[in-house]
Amino acid sequence: MKHTLLKAVATTALTFGTWASAHAVDLQFYFPVAVGGAAAETIQSLTDEYVAANPDVTIDAVYTGSYQDTVAKVITAARGGNPPQLSVILSVDMFTLIDEDLIMPFDDYLPGEEGKAWLDGFYPAFMENSQTGGKTYGIPFQRSTPVLYWNKEAFKDAGLDPETPPATWDEMVEYGQKLVKKDASGNVTRWGVRIPSSGFPYWLFQGLTTENDVILANADGNKTNFDDPKVVEALQYMVDLSGKYGVMAPGIIEWGATPKAFFEGQTAMMWTSTGNLTNVRTNAPFEFGVAMLPANKRRGAPTGGGNFYLLKGATDEQAQAAVDFVKWITAPQQSAKWTMATGYVAPRAETWETDTMKAYAADFPPVLVARDQLEHAVAELSTYQNQRVTSIFNDALAAAITGQKDPEAALKDAQSKADAILAEYR
């Protein structure tokens, strides 16, 4: 009796096993989380939902730390001959990944008119960092853009209209000077504005350069314009915010402490990612507003965040399954869930047309600011050997912000170093 039972179990297991291996496609998918909270759980639950609805696919979603950790793990895994099939990596790492020969374009798995139409459904500002040489290497997913947050109570306190954020550089300085508050001994207790500059100052600085109508790197990723006079002018403005105009704290300003400084009333305005939207909404003890970054020659902002990449080493079957999953997770219902959980900008216009998103936006209009800013947004700085080139640029910005070099000398120096690196890619 026991014997027959065992046999039966074994046979069933065997049949099930062969059936599963004949039909199921196994995928491994690495994802980073750059903002705290529900992001990791949301990805996991979305993946589980997909697997439950598609029994012929199993997806092993692996949380791989920060963006930095994720790209390191992907490159290491690929060098060890065992890359995942799919990963979310910074959009700016595209050229690096091409250079490392690790990724393949999505186009082969998105045939015909239908595929093209689907790609056209993404906001063009997000696609700038995702395509090169006529091929699509990245599908926008956790994408963001910086916006200006302002404290309405502080505006009232300073005699400004609490409903009107600064629309230009000059207004930001003018409002900022009114907002700066000092105690009896002359120490500043409230700054006008805070543009964080620790770690990767280039991102918010790119807001300033875009507004000054200059692009930092070409679309081929092999030429930078760091020493363009308009870039110098933008850096001079940023340096002057602390120096000449006295509306921003001097020195390097920490990213992590910036929302806290805003909540504490240490600064009346801050520039930071839309990824902080939910955080600010939960924690700001006062009424706040969200606006597009102020304009100079034009409106402008960089985009930021991560794309889906398809990694080499996947079989045709796996790649097709991965693309189907990406199509599903960026579809309106799933994308809406993701946006509401994190504050990342939904990358497809159709998502904003769903009832859930409409209701969410009606309840919390600031989410629309980021979307509307996309029409002015440009690609985030991205080149071949991206980390190294941006690091050179970051060093130059830090040197100017801390007053060790004047903006022009710092940027000239950075440009010549970047040229030396990028020459071999031209």
Residues lying near other proteins in the complex (CB under 8 A): 68, 72, 75, 96, 98-102, 185-188, 197-199, 249-254, 256-257, 260-261, 264, 266, 385, 387-388, 391, 394-396, 398-399, 401-402, 404
**Residue 58 and residue 26 in contact, taking contact as beta carbons nearer than 8 Å:** yes
Please give the backbone phi and psi of residue 191, each rounded to the nearest 5 degrees, phi first.
Answer: -90, 165
Tell me the C-alpha distance between 300 and 146, whole Å: 10
| Pairing label, strands 181-182, 146-151 | unpaired
Tokens 């009896």 belong to residue:
184
**H helices of 62-140, where?**
67-79, 94-99, 112-120, 124-127
Tell me the C-alpha distance between 402 and 405, whole Å: 8
User: Where is 311: in which H helix or E strand?
Assistant: strand 304-311
Tell me the C-alpha distance between 3 and 240, whole Å: 85
Comparing CA positions, the residue from 58, 66, 71 lying closest to residue 28 is 58
**Residue 107 and residue 396 in contact, taking contact as beta carbons nearer than 8 Å:** no
Comparing CA positions, the residue from 268, 269, 258, 212 lying closest to residue 235 is 212
Q: What letter would DSSP give residue 351?
A: H
Tell me the C-alpha distance between 123 and 286, whole Å: 33
